[in-house]
């Protein structure tokens, strides 16, 4: 297992800079760089950023979990340490990725479980990790 994995998830396509180019491999972003010299702006060579995975705004919660957290939970169940760290601007979707939408939390608070199929699809990393761990505990 890798020591560090970097995954980016865009909340919406409108959040992506229109000048960025996403390469076919789904793992690199090419971003043009602008330099300001006095009052003049000029473009320089684009900077290429590489990631372990790039998830688009239409990536569902299950796919996102499988891409970045499932292996970590398996490692924890086998005695390793693991951390998943969500980083981004306010409103960028960290809470949605980690917990799911507010309606999921409200349903869990009211019923102690997620009852509706639609809400189950929206459960975030924490709920899915707990589910994975409890299912594994039943098998062991």
pLDDT tens per residue across span 8-66: 887 665 555 666 666 656 677 777 776 666 777 777 777 788 888 888 778 899 999 99
How do the domains of the chain map onto residue ranges?
A: 1-57, 60-140
The token pair that represents 41 in the structure block: 């702006």
Quick check: 45 and 35 in contact, CB under 8 A? no
Query: What gap in Å lies between CA 18 and CA 34, rounded to an integer?
Result: 14
pLDDT of residue 73: 95
Q: Is the CA virtual torsion 103, 107, 108, 113 positive or negative?
A: negative
Query: What gap in Å lies between CA 47 and CA 45, rounded to an integer?
Result: 7
Query: What gap in Å lies between CA 80 and CA 46, rounded to an integer?
Result: 39
What's the average model confidence in pLDDT over 105-118?
Answer: 73
pLDDT of residue 28: 78
Establish how many alpha carbons lie within 13 A of residue 35's alpha carbon, considering only the half-sphere containing its beta carbon: 7
Query: What gap in Å lies between CA 87 and CA 125, rounded to an integer?
Result: 14
Q: What is the mean pLDDT of the chain?
A: 80
Better-predicted residue by pLDDT, 95 or 105: 95
3-state SS, residue 42: strand
What predicted TM-score, i.e. pTM, was given to this entire model? 0.75
Most confident of 7-16, 26-35, 85-94, 98-107: 85-94
Query: What gap in Å lies between CA 76 and CA 34, rounded to an integer?
Result: 43
The token pair that represents 107 in the structure block: 């349903």
Query: At residue 74, does pLDDT exceed 90?
Result: yes
């Amino acid at each position: 297992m890798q020591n560090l994995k970097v995954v980016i998830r865009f909340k919406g396509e409108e959040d992506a800079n229109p000048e960025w180019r996403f390469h076919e491999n789904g793992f690199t972003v090419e971003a043009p760089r602008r330099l300001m010299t006095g009052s003049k702006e000029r473009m320089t060579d684009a900077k290429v950023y590489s990631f372990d995975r790039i998830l688009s705004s239409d990536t569902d919660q299950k796919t996102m979990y499988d891409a970045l957290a499932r292996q970590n939970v398996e490692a924890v169940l086998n005695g390793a340490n693991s951390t998943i760290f969500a980083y981004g601007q306010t409103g960028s979707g960290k809470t949605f990725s980690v917990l799911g939408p507010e309606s999921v939390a409200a349903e869990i608070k009211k019923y102690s479980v997620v009852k509706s199929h639609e809400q189950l699809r929206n459960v975030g990393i924490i709920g899915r990790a707990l589910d994975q761990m409890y299912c594994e505990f039943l098998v062991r």
